[in-house]
Structure 1
Amino acid sequence: MAKTTHIAIVSSPGFSHLVPIVEFTKRLINLHPNFHVTCIVPSLGSPQESSKAYLKTLPSNIDSIFLPPISKEKLPQGVVYPGLLIQYTVTLSLPSIHEVLKSLSSKAPLTALVVDVFAFQTLEFAKEFNSLSYFYFPSSAMTLSLTLHLPRLDEEVSGEYKDLKEPIKLPGCVPLLGVDLPAPTQNRSSEAYKSSLERAKAVSLADGIIMNTFLEMESGAIRALDEFGNGKIRFHPVGPITQKGSSNEVDECLRWLDRQPPCSVLYVSFGSGGTLSQQQINELAWGLELSCQRFLWVLRAPSNSSGAAYLENTNEDPLQFLPNGFLERTKEKGLVVPSWAPQVQVLNHKSVGGFLSHCGWNSVLESMQEGVPLITWPLFAEQKMNAVLLVVALKVALRPKFNEDGIVDKEEIAKVTKCLMVEEEGKGLRERINNLKDYAVNALRDGFSTQTLSKLASEWENFATITARSSAHVATTANTVKRPSAADELHLRGVRNLHRDQHVNNLRRLPLHERRRHR
């Protein structure tokens, strides 16, 4: 019987951060059942009901532990940016995280510690418990590239990035305007930026970085990351990994979709935390009506903070904030549902032909896996970078223009909606994203991503075996300690770099036509 290999993961607060790293562990367990995983989950206030319900569905070899919740009163006053709230919550949870890891390691050796990017401070604990350490990076390779190059940019660029006249050129990526960099970088004197810079510098502490992307989607960026790491940092693209919906779910909106023609409905959703202002809700409603296209809209109550619903939700009925008469006028073509819809099932439905999205990475991957082209509407975090990737690099999305007041007006909304749903340009976007869908299926079947995850699992198993063998050799007497054999000690040191060239070698093994396509 195979020996169990134990790993621990540390999530960040918020459902949309919990799901990606847990879905990674589910795929690991599915491919390698001899692993056992413990998920450590910090929370700001009481854990979200969605998080608790989700963790109850995990297989028996994945445990979960909710840490004592951090009271909002303990956080600095006036902090509104979601990323900074998350970072402070994790920082205050460090003593609890350490206690859990200490308890786990006392029962069985921990082979690896895998942490969300906001939990970077926990990497130091891996050394204490003789574990390998990994970042789980839940976004694009392009965003990871920016993270790794941010310390250099911070030294080389004077002034604000948003004021740069020339685009920023990251290796293997399309050029980026300063205004499209993640929200925390838009004010370099802010605490959010300082936290991002600290996080970027901490990446070098890890033994590797696990990425939720795949080769055919971001070949240039992935190849450039391997060159950047130069064997010192190893990169493991294992995606696209997304949450699978339940086939038993029968929601009102799914029944409504059953009655619509194929590929005729625009799905509108801003993720688990995105919100719009009252003015923007009005313009979006009028624009959808003006487009004369069918739509399914997941609506939240308005807020002037774009990420207001990220860590907490309001009990207000969002439908009351729609323009007068809108629901009655559009009842033949549209459906508005409050706060939530089963997104995976919606995107999988034959009636859905487009997705107006905030461009959170989970939503991007879900849309791509279902072959649904997008209208990008980034709100916060790295979502503008994701929009650039979709629109400029992959050419599977449209991006509406904001006016001088920061609003997308109804005419612009109607224009991009009709372009995506019924015009020739939309057909081209749909064809390209369906090609990506095929590549994604192959990556998860027996392609590059599956091979990468299997090699990573093999490395962890080897490390666990050698660590156990070394521990067995250590025999303490009154004044002497018998050290492991020289061969085992060499193996233990070398196993951390066992696969340092695996990605470069795999790229070289791609068929010639694939290598040409990625040039």
Structure 2
Amino acid sequence: MEQKVCIAMVPCPGLSHLIPLVEFAKLLVLHHKNFHVKFLIPTLGPPTPSTNSILNSLPPNIDFTFLPPINIQDLPPNIHISTQMILTVKHSLPSLYQAINTILTSSQSKNNLVALVFDVFSTDVIDIAKKFNLLSYVFATSSAIALQFCLNLPKLDETISSEFMDTTKTFDIPNSKVSFKVKDFPDPVLFGRSSKTYKSFLHLFQRFSLVDGIIINSFKDLEQDTIKSMEDFLNVYPVGPIIQKESKSKENESKCITWLNKMPQKSVLFISFGSGGTLTNEQINEIAFGLELSGFNFLWVLRVPSKHSNSAYFSGSSQKSNHDSDDDPLKYLPLGFLERTKDQGLVVPSRAPQIEILSHGSTGGFLTHCGWGSSLESLVYGVPMICWPLFAEQRMNAATLTDVFKVAVRPKIDEEDEIIKGEEVARVIKIIMDQNLRDSEGLQLRRRIEDLRVGAAAAVSEDGS
């Protein structure tokens, strides 16, 4: 039997990092019949049901192995989620070395291992690739613009000033035509140069010159200038948009689709904050007020409120996340809201099939946390967005969607109460959803995202680049 070309992929913990890498692997084995992909997965604890569901449905040319879980006692207490992901991979390197050595030395292996592909937060895997003389590729689950900022971080760090960390300032990204407000920088940067979170984040991008290439989940029609500027000094491969073909969670699917089927075309605002986003109870009340005030149809995926925005997507977490609790999210809505809006909207608890909803003809807008996966899904299906970032690099994504791609609006936070008021929620909903306003901001957004939808379709076509 002919020996297959084997590629080992090392994700970092977190569904939002695992899913796009899995989808990329599926495309590789679909288009290259002689390829075999093996996932070697660092873990902090037992895999979640969602993780198991994704991995157990892989095609025959892809398999997976969970590396032994690291000891949580070996991690510093109260560390940021990004540092936790980085250290989980770093502490898993001995196990990864053994796993790869076994693949390479096994006399029964039918696979010729040639390369390691790993997540941005798994960059320490470069050391393993070098030891075994394997090709190494980073798979970036972010936009090219966000990656460009991070790639420039080591150089910025050498010449950093107090102005760089002044959140009231705007900062030009080197080798780019893009500017960002400092307050929209990714979370680890805002911790400051002296923090361990910042230092571990910086460490990742100081090593990018060592890899053989960077694979980006984006496409040239979307980020042509940024991708071109990166190609001047790195091997860059834009392979996107890579999204799931269907939602893994079928929770509430029949209820949502049946309801959407009764709604007019482009009339429904879909509201969801991804796999781990939660809001405070006060903010939930303001969104509810804004929805009523707007009068537009809505489908809202609601989770139990928390004191702060939540990153419960971390797959290795041993803690039970808010949206997996037995608490009923709907009881946190304002008194009488469900009755008053029974003809206007549908509220479902915890989860909904996002792909099926965004691709439905009745969906006309998406209020999103701006995770890159959700942003790409919205672009692919031509659904304009209301940006509501919560954590990680989502604020940078929001700024990109509104100011660079011009396919979204972003509500203003009330500076006194540090919350988005219901009147502001209603205002941005009207911009996105009102189809009757001619020469409006919303009309321009819809035209722009339709152009990008066509570009996304061309990028993933058989002859797309």
Shift of 1:260: 0.9
Q: Is residue 106 of structure 1 aligned with residue 122 of structure 2?
A: no
- Aligned counterparts of 1:360 and 1:248: Cα–Cα separation in 2: 17
1:386 matched to 2:397? The reply is yes
RMSD (Å) for aligned C-alpha atoms = 1.8
Alignment of 1:234-253 (within 5 A): 234-245=235-246, 250-253=253-256
Deviates further, 238-247 or 334-343: 238-247
- Residue 73 (structure 1) shift: 4.1
Q: Is the 8 A contact 2:265 2:363 kept in 1?
A: yes
Secondary structure at 1:6 match in 2: strand
Which residue is 1:477 aligned to? none
Is 1:330 equivalent to 2:341 in the alignment?
yes
Superposition map of 1:111-126 within 5 A = 111-126=114-129
When residues 398 and 18 of structure 1 are mapped into structure 2, their CA distance, relative to the original with a 3 A threshold, is same
Identify the match of residue 444 of structure 2 among 399, 416, 428: 428
Is 1:178 aligned to residue 174 of structure 2?
Answer: no
Q: CA deviation at 1:397?
A: 0.5
Mapped to 2, the partners of 1:109 and 1:284 lie a distance apart of: 54
Distance 1:169 1:130, change over 3 A: closer
Q: Which residue of 2 aligns with 1:199?
A: 204
Q: Secondary structure at the match of 1:176?
A: strand
Q: C-alpha distance in 1, partners of 2:73/2:333? A: 34
Query: Which piece of structure 1 moves more, 157-166 or 143-152?
Result: 157-166
Query: Greater helix share, 1 or 2?
Result: 1
Letter aligned with residue 313 of structure 1: S
Q: Deviations over 1:170-190 (max 9, x none)?
A: 323421111111111112122
Which ranges of structure 2 fall in alignment gaps of 5 or more residues? 315-319
Look up the equivalent residue of 1:75 and give its one-letter code: L
Residue 455 of structure 2: aligned partner: 439
Letter in 2 for 1:222: I
Mapped to 2, the partners of 1:264 and 1:321 lie a distance apart of 26
Question: In the TM superposition, what are the counterparts of 1:116-195 in structure 2 within 5 Å?
Answer: 116-159=119-162, 160-163=164-167, 165-188=169-192, 189-195=194-200
Alignment check: 8 A CA contact 1:174 1:392 kept: no
Change in CA separation of 1:263 and 1:166 when aligned onto 2, cut-off 3 Å: closer
Structure 1 residue 67: Cα displacement: 2.0
Q: CA deviation at 1:161?
A: 2.2
Structure 1 pair 177/103, CA: closer, same or farther in 2 (3 Å)?
Answer: same
Q: Quote how far apart the aligned CAs of 1:49 are.
A: 0.6
CA distance in 2 between counterparts of 1:358 and 1:57 reads 27
Amino acid in the other structure paired with 1:184 = P
Match of 2:317 in 1: none
Structure 1 pair 310–179 and aligned structure 2 pair: CA distance change class (3 A): same
Where do 1:359-508 residues align within 5 Å?
359-404=370-415, 405-422=417-434, 423=437, 424-449=440-465
Name which of structure 1's ranges 345-354 and 328-337 shifts more when overlaid on structure 2. Answer: 328-337
> 1:327 Cα shift?
1.3
Matching of residue 26 in structure 1 with residue 34 in structure 2? no
How many equivalent pairs are there? 444
1:435 deviates by 0.9
Q: Distance in 2 between matches of 1:322 and 1:70?
A: 40
Tell me the residue number matched to 1:310. 313
Return closer, same or farther for 1:432/1:447 CA change in 2, 3 Å cut-off.
Answer: farther
Trace 1:213-228 onto structure 2 (pairs within 5 A).
213-227=218-232
Largest Rg, 1 or 2: 1
Using the alignment, how far apart are the partners of 1:111 and 1:169 within structure 2?
35
Give me the TM-score of the superposition, normalised by structure 2: 0.92
